[in-house]
Amino acid sequence: EIVLTQSPGTLSLSPGERATLSCRASQSVSGSSLAWYQQKRGQAPRLLIYDASTRATGIPDRFSGSGSGTDFTLSISRLEPEDFAVYYCQHYVTSPLTFGGGTKVEIK
């Protein structure tokens, strides 16, 4: 099973600042088969990024994904008020599919 470790657990930032979220895998994620989701309180997750760096339909370009192998990053260039939420990474290399534990981006 591929274990995904997200850091930091909580990121305290102000609107307009840059956010950098990390997702580290316990073994190589082949084919960059990694996705990122945003989840707001009481809502289902929303797909942001797939294949490590491809934005999903309708996702603003302030969101970007990068990385390969075991280290992946989600960046938000300038935080908007609606970006404060919890973010999860997920691999889809092989079964079982797993998610990281999440990073909460909160208003400082």
Partner 1 sequence: QVQLQESGPGLVKPSETLSLTCTVSAGSINNYYWTWIRQPPGKGLEWIGYIYYSGSTNYNPSLKSRVTISVDTSKNQFYLDLDSVTAADTAVYYCARDSERGSYYDSWGQGTLVTVSP
User: ω before 60 within 30° of 0 (cis)?
Assistant: no
Q: Which of 33, 53, 64, 73 binds partner 1 (CB under 8 A)?
A: 33
Query: How many residues in the shown chain lie near partner 1 by CB under 8 A?
Result: 24
Site membership for partner 1, residue 68 (CB under 8 A): no
Site membership for partner 1, residue 45 (CB under 8 A): yes
Site membership for partner 1, residue 88 (CB under 8 A): yes
Buried b (16+ CB within 10 A) or exposed e, 62-94: ebbbebeeeebbbebeebeeebbbbbbbbbebe
Between 17 and 93, name the residue whose CB sits nearer to partner 1: 93
- Contacts with partner 1, residue ranges (CB under 8 A): 1, 33, 35, 37, 43-47, 50-51, 56-57, 88, 90, 92, 95-102
